[in-house]
């Protein structure tokens, strides 16, 4: 018996991901890991390398020391203590394979050099790998990702090419791009992280869980699908 197959929707296009985030933002770490879990459930659609858009949340001037807890407190709603936020972040992190170790964090680094390294890693299509390594270095290992020597170590641990390592050793390489991108994002009114844009049309502002990212991916790939009734997750 012959069975005729009917195509209900067209072929899926490639998934393009633009993530605005900072490397000292724990919600950015959670968001990226949740996105990866969502992408692992995506079948039949190629995913292009992540495009990272760095937005430093804390400028640390030379000789300045900003306590981690003070930095965290500035990002919390009124009435939420840093201690409570850390407990909640640890719990959320464990579900995603992240071992937050906030006890290691004393001060926050300026992340502009780290963002420059990520920008240069994009020349190899390796931004996602380097971002993961930098998140882990800071939040799980307590390493100072504002220190150029630490960043060079992370770059080597990631297996970046000699050309990329040499480019990062030149402080001017990629610097203007990082500054221009930060200025552009702030000019657009972006003040918080993370923010994910999928295929240039679906925006997921703020941290989201795996199911929310899956819903957003479906909407980006199949715009003809109706929106689910519960839109509160796209917050």
Q: What is the pLDDT of residues 114-125, one digit of tens each?
A: 999 999 999 999
Q: Give the model confidence (pLDDT) of 130-189 as tens digits.
A: 999 999 999 999 999 999 999 999 999 999 999 999 999 999 999 999 999 999 999 989
Q: Residue 36's CB: how many other CB atoms inside 10 A?
A: 16
pTM listed for this prediction: 0.88
Residue 98: per-residue pLDDT: 98
Whether the CB-CB separation of 139 and 29 falls below 8 Å is answered with yes
Q: pLDDT at residue 81 above 60?
A: yes
Residue 9: per-residue pLDDT: 44
Is residue 222 very low, low, confident or very high in pLDDT (cuts 50, 70, 90)? confident
Strand positions, DSSP E, the chain: 17-21, 51-54, 195-198, 202-205
Token pair belonging to 178: 């990082």
Give me the domains of the chain, ranges plus CATH numbers: 17-221 (3.40.30.10)
Residue 231: per-residue pLDDT: 39
Q: What distance separates the 2 farthest-apart alpha carbons in the chain?
A: 78
Number of residues assigned to the chain: 235
Q: How would you list the strands of the sheet with 202-205, edge to edge?
A: 51-54, 17-21, 195-198, 202-205
**CA–CA dist 196, 186 (Å, integer):** 16
Residue 45: per-residue pLDDT: 83
The secondary element (H helix, E strand) that includes residue 163 is: helix 162-169
In sequence order, the 6+-apart residues with CB closer than 8 A to the CB of 233 are: 208, 209, 211, 212, 215
Q: pLDDT at residue 234 above 50?
A: no
**How many Cα atoms are found within 13 Å in the side-chain-facing hemisphere of 194?**
28
Is residue 228 very low, low, confident or very high in pLDDT (cuts 50, 70, 90)? low
């Amino acid at each position: 018996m012959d069975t005729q197959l009917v195509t209900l929707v067209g072929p899926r296009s490639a998934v393009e991901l633009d993530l605005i985030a900072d490397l000292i933002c724990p919600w950015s770490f959670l968001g990226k890991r949740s996105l990866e879990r969502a992408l692992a459930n995506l079948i039949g659609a190629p995913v292009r390398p992540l495009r990272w858009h760095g937005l430093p949340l804390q400028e640390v001037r030379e000789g300045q020391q900003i306590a981690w807890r003070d930095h965290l407190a500035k990002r919390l709603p009124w009435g939420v203590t840093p201690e409570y936020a850390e407990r909640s972040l640890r719990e959320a992190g464990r579900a995603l394979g992240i071992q937050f170790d906030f006890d290691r964090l004393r001060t926050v680094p300026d992340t502009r050099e780290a963002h420059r390294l990520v920008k240069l890693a994009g020349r190899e299509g390796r931004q996602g790998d380097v971002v993961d390594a930098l998140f882990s270095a800071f939040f799980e290992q307590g390493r100072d990702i504002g220190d150029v020597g630490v960043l060079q170590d992370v770059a080597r641990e990631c297996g970046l090419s000699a050309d990329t390592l040499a480019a990062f050793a030149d402080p001017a390489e990629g610097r203007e791009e990082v500054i221009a991108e930060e200025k552009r994002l702030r000019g657009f009114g972006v003040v918080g992280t993370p923010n994910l844009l999928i295929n240039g049309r679906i925006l997921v502002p703020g941290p989201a869980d795996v199911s929310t990212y899956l819903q957003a991916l479906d909407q980006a790939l199949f715009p003809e699908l109706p929106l689910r009734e519960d839109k509160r997750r796209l917050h």
